[in-house]
Every structure is written in structure tokens, then in C-alpha cells.
A and B are shown apart, each in its own frame.
Chain A
Amino acid sequence: MQFMLLFSRQGKLRLQKWYVPLSDKEKKKITRELVQTVLARKPKMCSFLEWRDLKVVYKRYASLYFCCAIENQDNELITLEIIHRYVELLDKYFGSVCELDIIFNFEKAYFILDEFLLGGEAQDTSKKNVLKAIEQADLLQENRPRQFFFLSAQLTTEKPL
């Protein structure tokens, strides 16, 4: 996989993961073009399109488009499954995930993606393992120590971002 983009039906970008080195300008250009192309597709069309020298696999889940660019030797149908697996992971983590969850917790969406894919390939094919790893990593998130003198260190709340 060369990159993955998530965008809304109005064309707003919600997540972008690039597995190839490109300048910011190029990324913006590609994003703009691809978003336009995918949004112009009619519902009856198939999920694959040829774009430049790549294959693009996209699928719409509610108000979000999940769009992946793969190379010519990659299997389009299994890429659809990869997208679906990612959505399932998000769903399990957020509990009935919706676009708002991804907007407000975009960094978590990235963490989950990075636990599922590395360099564009799936690291683990077990949903359970990926979710467990995320859970454990979340637990490692630091607690902000309270600067009170007269309270025990027990009382802490996680410092929200």
C-alpha cells in the first residue's frame, strides 16, 4: 500500500497515512485530485479505479470514505478486507464508531492504524491481538502528577490532551 486517506463526503480530510516519501505539496495535490475523483463516482460503480499508475481501492462507510492506493501486483479484493478490518478495529475500540469519533480522537485512530499496519502491510491478522496491544499501550499513557502538597499521590486523573 502506498497511502491511505479517510475523507468525508464534503471532501474534508480526516486521516492521511503515507507509506511513500512525498513532499507536502505533492501530498496535497494527490489528495485533492483523488478526493475529487472518488467523490465523483456514482454509487453503482465498482470500488476500484485506475489512477496514474496505481490502483485505488475505496469504500464508503456511513459518511466516511476509506481510500487506499495499492500497487499493480497487490490484490484489490483483499485490500477491501484490510479496510474492513480497520473499520472493525475502530468500531470495537470506540464502540459503534462514527465520523465524530475519528474527528475528535484522530490521534487514537492513527495509533490503531499503526498497530494494524506497518509500512503498508498488515502486522497482525488477529483482531484480538491488535486491540489488546492498543489497550495495553493506552494504559501506559502517563498520569499527570498532581502538584498538591496536601493530597496523596493516589488521586490522579489522566492528563487529557
Chain B
Amino acid sequence: MCSCYYSSVWLHVNTGECNLASKHVPLQYLITLHWFETLFLCVFQRMPAPIRLRELIRTIRTARTQAEEREMIQKECAAIRSSFREEDNTYRCRNVAKLLYMHMLGYPAHFGQLECLKLIASQKFTDKRIGYLGAMLLLDERQDVHLLMTNCIKNDLNHSTQYVQGLALCTLGCMGSSEMCRDLAGEVEKLLKTSNSYLRKKAALCAVHVIRKVPELMEMFLPATKNLLSEKNHGVLHTSVVLLTEMCERSPDMLLHFRKLVPQLVRILKNLIMSGYSPEHDVSGISDPFLQVRILRLLRILGRSDDDSSEAMNDILAQVATNTETSKNVGNAILYETVLTIMDIKSESGLRVLAINILGRFLLNNDKNIRYVALTSLLKTVQTDHNAVQRHRSTIVDCLKDLDVSIKRRAMELSFALVNGNNIRGMMKELLYFLDSCDPEFKADCASGVFLAAEKYAPSKRWHIDTIMRVLTTAGSYVRDDSVPNLIQLITNSVEMHAYTVQRLYKALLDDISQQPLVQVSSWCIGEYGDLLVSGQCEEEEPIQVTEDEVLDVLEGLLVSNLSTPVTRGYSLTAIMKLSTRFSSVNRIKKVVSIYSSSIDVELQQRAVEYNALFKKYDHMRPALLERMPIMEKTASNGPTEIMQTNGETEPSVPDTKHLPLVTQPANQANDLLDLLGGNDVVPVIQTTLPTKPASAGGELLDLLGDLSLSGGLAPAPSVPVSQPPFLLDGLSSQPLFNDTSAAIPPMTAYSKNGLKIEFTFERANPNPNIAVITIHATNTTEADMTEFVFQAAVPKTFQLQLLSPSSNIVPALNQGSVTQVIRVLNPQKQQLRMRVKLTYTHKGSPVQDLAEVNNFPPQSWQ
């Protein structure tokens, strides 16, 4: 026992904690004293002194297992608790310190919270120090307990010892709640005006915290900021700049008010740069970099969107940018801040170029931190200073090969931002190489980026298809789901590349069927262009020899493979079906389809059943339904349209069978229909959006079709454009409706009665010669307008009809204008075109309705 006391005393002497009047007191004397004291204490005190902090730490560290540690901790906690209960003032500090250690290890210490408050209230500095530390670690503003601190802090803010005041300011500035801040803001403000720089700097940062918690109190600190910047003390300067920054960021009024400080800030910065070596603030040869960076940041905020201020700081920014040493991190930190400031304020172009060049140099720096920071900043500026950043493109692309994940990501984002029509080939090569070798977390974003860039800047269709192929084969499983319909649309629109595309996709399928997006796109293409594949029509490369059976083998293989998802199976089944009109091996296809009509997968089963029905009952419609897809229109939103979604899924939706479940809606009209027609079938006429009365139109229309023996099933509410037979969706606006190759068809008058004349003009739809496009022109010779004009038409069973939106529903009087509307009629069997029309309008206040038959179609319109 004696020796350990000896050693502990020795330690104390050595580490200078001992405050002995003289260090030369003989140690034996001390030992005796210690011994006496222990004896004394043991006799007269109730408990032995709680073990010391360092001893506890040492003991706990000897624990070999978590369980052992927990046991020690629990034992000690129990001791501490009883000590707290006994209100022991002497050792409270020690106990709380131990508690804080155990708290850091992760053990609960909430029973020490009140003790911290007692320590704070103590007169002893040691107690206060530990008490405040404990408060910062154990208390938080959610618990009401913390409010008990307020009074103590208030007292300590006015303490005679500045270090006590400092403790209070520190605690308030770190974890003061809004209530505390409200109560104590006045004290903080007072201290902000003191001449004691030690306190002033702390008060400034405390004020920052108060403002963050209670923004309304900002005004209160305004007077105190008046001469903050004229301080010589760097600590006060630094914290003042932080305070001013906070105020300017929060309040536009403050910003305006403080803008006048720009010259002063510029001066301070200049002094820092120009002044000689100052040992106190020097860091690697640079004078107070922390202050420099803060000033630059404040200048950024003050100069933003203000020409005069920006002008005033122009020179100093240029000076800092050119004179700062770049060999160490600290210099680069200043340059970085300078660049950020230059880019954000209204700087002149020369300065901006200088900034970008600094970033370019950063990119070549060996220090990866600097490279990272450069890439981040370039990403921010690439929109506004695109050309300047372009100059550094090759360096940026090199960063794709960096080992650091964050740098790679930044470089990738920046590379995509820099792609343009001129550099697309080179950039894409690099990006595709990156896609091959990058981590999986990047692949999805990179693939999307490649698709987007390719779409915007592809130099040729062949290149575009090749690029898509490359992405699908290398990163096929990471491609986003919405890419599949996008790609299909792209492929469809590259008409001359169909053969090449399908050949390449087929070959890719032979290699690998695991990547679902690739498989889906491939099956869709094979289904669509399989005829080109077997006929070996490829011009771009050596055509391969493929038989129909081989193709069907591959597609059937997809159906049975474990690697295929249900969606993929759907694609391949539909593709097989489509080949029934392109291949001759129809029987094989029929067999496949009938097998899957008992598939467990509901989706597959439904498709198979429908296709079976196609074979059995609607075989005459099959060729038309499974025809080649027309070119799809892309919507402005740059994403797949609703129409494309359905086309992408390649549902040659058979309106009858698919929409039979919808017959119930609108129910009463269906009944009317069946009454009228005596149960005859009706060919649904699907209209695009009508200007008025969409719901009833369907019913009324079908009324017309009475004796034309039309097939059954109601069209769905015509306002739904989605599920239209795709072949009628010939490219709406971009496709020329005129086909110059066919002879012009003479127009005809379809109806003329009561002043309303309707003329039909004809065009052939390109590319499908079976579609006749009729434009009706309705004119009005009476003196009154015909309002709410609705034109409806119906055709016999062998035809299909589509009505597009009319130009308007008012036929102006006295031939002042006309209403036009486009009708498209599919006539695959080339039968004589007949039509029944129904007209409704309001004339001179009264509704008019008329039915008519149109039989005088010129033969050219349907032959």
C-alpha cells in the first residue's frame, strides 16, 4: 500500500498537477502524511473515498470481455449512486467525471444530470469545469432539467473570473435551447461589447448560436457589431466575421446594412497577405488562413448580385488567387474559397477564367482531396461557364480512372455535363470503358447518362444503335426499367437500321440471356423484325444465316429459362405470336401459344388465351393486328408516353376480347345498343378526345350502326386514348398525311342539308396503304352559327374507324370558316367504303340532329 501511494505522489509531482509549495518536500514525509490521512478518513468518514477517475479507467480497460466490463461498470455506478444520495460535496466532481467516462463507453448516465447542475452551482472552479462539461454531454434541450441551468449560467456570465465566464459562454453557445437563449441574450450582448478580447470572441460565437436558435433576436446584436472589425485581436476578428456572416445570411436587410463593410474587409485581407511573417498566426508560411477563408466567405455573400461590391473586391481576389502558395493544403484551402467567391459574385470574365484555371490546376494535384474539391466546384460551375470547363475535359475524363469512389462519381457527373455534339464520339468511348469497369453502384446512373447523351448527340443512327447495344451487353442488368420502352421507341424510329439492329440483338441473345432489359428489347425486336432476320437483309454487316426454327427455339428458350422474369416471358410470348404473321411456321407458334394458355403465370395465361382466340375466332384480323409498328411519336416530356407504354408491352390489344370486361360501363347504353341492334355486334369506334360530351358519344354512335350488322362489345369511354389499336396511331403531326406516290383522290360532298355542307377530302396514310385518311370540312351557309357541332361516323364490320379531334365545334355562319376533322379508316379487305354519319348541333337556339348515309365514295379511296 505504501509503495502505491509513493508512486501516485511521484506521478503527480512529475506531471505538474501537484501544487506543492515546494517540490523538494521529502517524499517520506508525504508518505507518512498520506498514511495518517487515510487512517483519519477511515475512522471518521462513513465510506472510503471513491476511486479516482484514472484508476477507474485503468481498471475498466483490464476487462477482457464485454460482460466483465459491464459488471465493473455496474458496480461503480452503484457506488456513485449511493455517493450522490449522500450529497457528498467533496467527491461529486470525481464521481461525475467517472460517470462521463462510462457514458462515453455507451452506458446510461442520466442519473448524473442533476449532479452536473449542482456542480455548476458550486463555487469551485474544478466543479464548474466538470459540471459544465457534464451538462454539455448529458443534458439536452428536450429535457426540462436543462432549464435549471439558466440561472447558474446567468450568474457565471457575470462572474469575476473570466475563465468562469468563458465556461458559461461556451456551454450556452454549444447547447443553449431557445428558452435559455431568450433569457440570456442580454448578457451575451453585454459581453459582446466588452473590451476583454478573451470574452468578446466567445460572446460573438455565442451570439451566433443565439441567432440560430432565436432569429428574432438578431436585431439586438446589431449595435454591438459596430466596431467589431476594428479589433486587432485575430480571435475577435475571426469570430466577428463569423457573426456578420450569420447575420447577412439570415437577413437581407442586414446584408444591405453590412455591405458597406466591404472596403474594410478588403483592407484586412490585404494586410494579412502583405504583412510579413507573424509567428503567432502563421501556418506553413501563410498568415492566419482561418481568418482569410472566413473573410473570403463573407465577401462572397456581400458581393453576390451586387456589382459595386463585386467590383470593390475584384483586385484583392485576383491578388489572393495569384499570390497564395499552393504547395500545402492550407494554401489550397484559401484558393478554394477564393474560387468559390469569384464564381458566385459578379466578377469580370478574366477573373472567372482565372478561377476555372485554378480548378484545372487542382485537378492535376497529387493530393486527392484537392482533386475532389476541384471536381465538386467544376460541377457547380459547368452550367454557367461551360466553355471554360470544357478546356479541362481531358483531365476530368482521366479522373474516371481514379481509385477513390467519390472522385469517380464526381468525374462521371461532370463528364456527362460536358458531352456535346463535338466530343460525343471520344467522350462516349471513355464513358463506355468506364461503364465496363466501374462498381455496380455507378452502373445504373452511368447507363442512363449514356442513353441520354447518345439520344441528344448521336452522330449517326448506326452509332446510336451500337452504343445502346454496348450498354445493354455490358451493363444490361443495371439499366433502368424505363429504358426498355425508350430504347424500343428509338429502335423503331431508326427504320433503316431495323435489320442490323435485330441481327445484333439476336446474336447478343445467343450469348447471354441473363440480362433482362437486354432480353426484353431483343425479344421485342425479334418479334417485330424477325422477317428481316431470317431473310438476311442486313446491309451494315455480314448477314447471318438463321432459320425460322432457330429463332423460335431462342424465343421458346426464354420462356422456359429460369433466368427470365415474368415480364420477360410476356415479351417473348408476344414476340412469338407476332412472328405468326411474319414466319411461315404458324403451326409451331399455335402449339406454343396453346401450351401457355394453361400456364400458372396469370399474365402469360391471359396472353396465351387471347392469342389463341386470335387464331381461332379472329384469324382474319390477325395480320392487321400484328402488323409492323409505326414510328412512335415522342412526347415533350422526353419520357415514354402512355401510348408507348402499351406499345412497349406489345399488346396488339384486341379490343373485343380485351375490353369485354368493360362492357358494363356505361351499362345502360350497352342495353340500349343491344335493344336497337337486336344483339348484333358493333365495331367499336374509338375516338380521341371529344370537345364535348365524351361519355355519351360512344353510346349514341353505336346507335347509328343499327343495320350495318356490326360486331359486339362496347368501346371503353372514348376519352381514354390509351388502349387504341396501335396501327391507327400513325405518327400524328410529323408524318406527312399526303403520300405523293398514290394518285390524288378527288374530294366529295358527303352531306348537304339545311345550310350545313360537309365535304370529304382524301389522303393515303403513309406507310400503310390500307388506311384512308379523310378530312371532313363542315361549312355553314346560314346566317347563324352552328354551335356544339358534333360529327359522328360509323362503318361496317370489315372496317375500322378512328376519329380525331375536330378543330372546333362551332361552324361559323356564312361560310366564314369551317370545322375540320380527320377520320382514318382501315380497310384491309379493300371493300367498298360505306359510312353512316350523325350530325348534332345547335342552330338559332334549337338543337338539330340528323342522320345520313354516305355511299358516294370515289373508288380510289378504298381500292
Pick the contact of B161: A46, A119, A140 (CB < 8 A): A140
Q: Within the complex, what minimum Cβ distance (angstroms) separates B773 from chain A?
A: 56
B174 and A77 contact, CB distance less than 8 A: no
Q: Mark B343-364, 1 if CB is under 8 A from A, else 0.
A: 0000000000000000000000
A133 and B163 contact, CB distance less than 8 A: yes
Q: Within the complex, what minimum Cβ distance (angstroms) separates A68 from chain B?
A: 14
Q: Which of B429-449 contact A (CB under 8 A)?
A: none
Contact partners of A18 in chain B: CB under 8 A: 175
A141 and B125 contact, CB distance less than 8 A: yes
A124 and B19 contact, CB distance less than 8 A: no
Q: Which of B108-152 contact A (CB under 8 A)?
A: 124-127, 129-130, 133, 136-137, 140-142
Contact partners of A107 in chain B: CB under 8 A: 53, 97, 100, 129-130, 133
Q: Within the complex, what minimum Cβ distance (angstroms) separates A99 from chain B?
A: 12
Tell me if B782 is interfacial: C-beta within 8 Å of chain A: no
* Residue in B202, B290, B293 with the greatest tally of chain A CB atoms within 10 Å: B290
Contact partners of B126 in chain A: CB under 8 A: 141-142, 159
Q: Within the complex, what minimum Cβ distance (angstroms) separates B441 from chain A?
A: 13
Contact partners of B235 in chain A: CB under 8 A: 123-126, 129
Summarize B's interface: helix, strand, loop or mixed. Answer: helix
Tell me if A151 is interfacial: C-beta within 8 Å of chain B: yes
B239 and A158 contact, CB distance less than 8 A: no
Tell me if B337 is interfacial: C-beta within 8 Å of chain A: yes
A158 and B403 contact, CB distance less than 8 A: no
Pick the contact of A77: B104, B332, B403 (CB < 8 A): B332
In the complex, A71→B318 CA distance in Å? 27
Pick the contact of A44: B163, B288, B404 (CB < 8 A): B404
Tell me if B738 is interfacial: C-beta within 8 Å of chain A: no
A119 and B206 contact, CB distance less than 8 A: yes
A126 and B280 contact, CB distance less than 8 A: yes
Tell me if B291 is interfacial: C-beta within 8 Å of chain A: yes
A80 and B36 contact, CB distance less than 8 A: no
Contact partners of B333 in chain A: CB under 8 A: 75, 77-78, 80-81
Contact partners of B714 in chain A: CB under 8 A: none
A143 and B19 contact, CB distance less than 8 A: yes
A114 and B170 contact, CB distance less than 8 A: yes
A75 and B129 contact, CB distance less than 8 A: no
Pick the contact of B239: A103, A121, A148 (CB < 8 A): A121
Tell me if B106 is interfacial: C-beta within 8 Å of chain A: yes
Q: Mark B630-642, 1 if CB is under 8 A from A, else 0.
A: 0000000000000
Tell me if B757 is interfacial: C-beta within 8 Å of chain A: no
In the complex, A151→B371 CA distance in Å? 67
A23 and B33 contact, CB distance less than 8 A: no
Q: Which of A82-127 contact B (CB under 8 A)?
A: 82, 85, 103-104, 106-107, 110-111, 114-115, 118-119, 121-127
Q: How many residues of B are in contact with the other chain, CB < 8 A?
A: 88
In the complex, A120→B12 CA distance in Å? 33
Contact partners of B206 in chain A: CB under 8 A: 118-119
Residue of A nearest to B293 (CB): A78
In the complex, A157→B40 CA distance in Å? 17
B140 and A23 contact, CB distance less than 8 A: yes
Contact partners of B127 in chain A: CB under 8 A: 142
B403 and A45 contact, CB distance less than 8 A: yes
* Residue in A14, A76, A142 with the greatest tally of chain B CB atoms within 10 Å: A142
Residue of B nearest to A149 (CB): B40
Contact partners of B125 in chain A: CB under 8 A: 137, 140-142
A77 and B280 contact, CB distance less than 8 A: no
Q: Within the complex, what minimum Cβ distance (angstroms) separates A106 from chain B?
A: 7
Q: Which of B249-287 contact A (CB under 8 A)?
A: 280-281, 283
A147 and B37 contact, CB distance less than 8 A: yes
Contact partners of B19 in chain A: CB under 8 A: 143, 156-158
B372 and A81 contact, CB distance less than 8 A: no
In the complex, A143→B90 CA distance in Å? 12
Contact partners of A140 in chain B: CB under 8 A: 125, 161, 163
5 shortest A-B CB distances, which residue pairs? A77-B333, A124-B235, A161-B53, A46-B368, A118-B205
* B residues with CB within 8 A of A: 8-9, 12, 17-21, 25, 33, 36-37, 40, 52-54, 57-58, 61, 90, 93-94, 97, 100-101, 104-106, 124-127, 129-130, 133, 136-137, 140-142, 161, 163, 166, 169-170, 173-175, 177, 198, 201-202, 205-206, 208-209, 234-235, 238-239, 242, 280-281, 283, 288-291, 293, 297, 329-330, 332-333, 336-337, 340, 368-373, 403-407
